[in-house]
């Protein structure tokens, strides 16, 4: 079961996001929990996830990228992306990645920023934008995890400061990530 269940806004604002803000957005990048809240669909499978993206598309959002779901094999996270094209058809992408057993600070913000940058560079390839984004983030997270373990050792819990992403140290990987992951175009 997806464990990230923290809401960063009061419950009373969820309806405003769902009904007023989401229809104004061209791109949204919820995680599984957030996609469930915004769509009203409990996501237990890839089919459920795309049902949620269809609901969010019907509210006016062109591109919905569920940044991380637990719809794949144990020990993996799966990105599921859906984008409506100019002619009304839908492109879908799946990308599986190994789950890193740690808690990080700022991952969602980094994901959104990097995705926007890579979508600008690859405006006609949701697949390429997702691949570059996840490849870079994975390298940042691995570097951050190594720094956390070096600072606190394997038996201790890192502080929020120690969990902050190692962005400066990862600048080359952010600018030009190697192709670590391949996405699959579904339709």
CATH code of residue 56: 3.40.1190.20
- 148 and 163 in contact (C-beta within 8 Å)? yes
The answer to whether position 181 is within a domain reads: yes
The answer to whether position 159 is within a domain reads: yes
pLDDT digits (tens, 9 = 90+) for 79-135: 999 999 888 899 999 999 999 988 888 899 999 999 999 999 999 999 999 999 999
CA 71 → CA 38, 79, 105, 157, distances in Å? 18, 9, 23, 28
The answer to whether position 99 is within a domain reads: yes
Give the pLDDT confidence score for residue 6 in this predicted structure. 64
Spatial CA neighbour of 43 closest among 35, 29, 161: 35
Give the pLDDT confidence score for residue 1 in this predicted structure. 32
- Report how many domains make up the chain: 1
CA 40 → CA 16, 54, 71, 84, 138, distances in Å? 14, 12, 17, 20, 29
Res. 2: pLDDT tops 70: no
The answer to whether position 4 is within a domain reads: no
The pTM score is: 0.90
The answer to whether position 6 is within a domain reads: no
Q: Which residues are catalytic?
A: 109
Give the pLDDT confidence score for residue 37 in this predicted structure. 92
pLDDT class for 30, splitting at 50, 70, 90?
very high
Range of the domain at 152: 11-185
The answer to whether position 5 is within a domain reads: no
């Amino acid at each position: 079961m997806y464990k990230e269940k923290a809401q960063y806004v009061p419950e009373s604002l969820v309806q405003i996001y769902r009904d007023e803000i989401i229809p104004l957005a061209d791109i949204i990048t919820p995680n599984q929990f957030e996609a469930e809240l915004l769509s009203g669909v409990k996501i237990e499978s890839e089919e459920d996830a795309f049902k949620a993206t269809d609901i969010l598309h019907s509210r006016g959002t062109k591109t919905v990228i569920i940044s991380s779901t637990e719809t794949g094999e144990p020990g993996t996270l799966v990105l599921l992306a859906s984008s409506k094209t100019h002619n009304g058809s839908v492109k879908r992408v799946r990308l599986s990645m190994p789950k890193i057993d740690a808690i990080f600070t700022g991952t969602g913000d980094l994901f959104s920023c990097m995705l926007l940058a890579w979508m600008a560079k690859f405006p006609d390839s949701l697949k390429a934008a997702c691949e570059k984004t996840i490849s870079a983030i994975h390298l940042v997270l691995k570097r951050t995890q190594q720094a956390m373990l070096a600072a606190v050792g394997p038996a201790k819990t890192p502080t929020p400061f120690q969990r902050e992403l190692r962005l400066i140290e990862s600048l080359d990987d952010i600018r030009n990530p190697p192709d670590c992951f391949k996405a699959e175009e579904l339709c």
